[in-house]
């Protein structure tokens, strides 16, 4: 039987890591490559793990917004229009893209794509 590679068990972020990542999330949902590298060093994580954590949080945020459409319409938010519009909120001025891309397209770019 050939040697099979067994993936290591998934590890959750520690409370310290989660707190620090949440602090950064309050500033931007799309941290730059440099910021992800800095966080990875600071928290003892890989840059890819940091990137995936932010992807997962953005997706959870989208799912939460989708579950509560009454809050969106009551706040004057999405009144029709295209889905995904405004996903980035004000993050474009913090380092996000302002070229009209939406969703996680930045995450599909290479790691040094920022």
Residue 108 has pLDDT above 50, yes or no: no
Residue 21 pLDDT class (50, 70, 90 cuts) = very high
Domain residue spans of the chain: 13-64
pLDDT computed for residue 34 by the predictor: 97
Please choose, from the candidates 34, 39, 45, the residue with its C-alpha nearest in 3D space to the C-alpha of residue 23.
39
Tokens of 92: 């474009």
Tens-digit pLDDT profile for residues 73-98: 555 544 444 444 444 444 333 334 44
pTM for the complete prediction? Answer: 0.57
Cα 24 from Cα 97, distance rounded (Å)? 18
pLDDT computed for residue 73 by the predictor: 54
Residue 4 pLDDT class (50, 70, 90 cuts) = confident
Q: What is the DSSP letter of 110?
A: -
CATH class of the domain defined by 13-64 = mainly alpha
């Amino acid at each position: 039987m050939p040697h099979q590679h067994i993936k290591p068990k998934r590890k959750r972020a520690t409370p310290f890591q989660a707190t620090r990542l949440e602090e950064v999330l309050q500033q931007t949902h799309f941290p730059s490559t440099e910021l992800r590298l800095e966080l990875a060093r600071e928290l003892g994580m890989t840059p890819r793990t940091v990137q995936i954590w932010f992807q997962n949080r953005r997706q959870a945020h989208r799912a939460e917004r989708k579950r509560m459409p009454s809050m969106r319409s009551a706040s004057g938010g999405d009144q029709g229009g295209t889905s995904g519009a405004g996903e980035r909120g004000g993050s474009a001025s913090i380092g996000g893209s302002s070229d009209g891309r939406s969703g996680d397209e930045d995450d599909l770019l290479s790691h040094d794509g920022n």
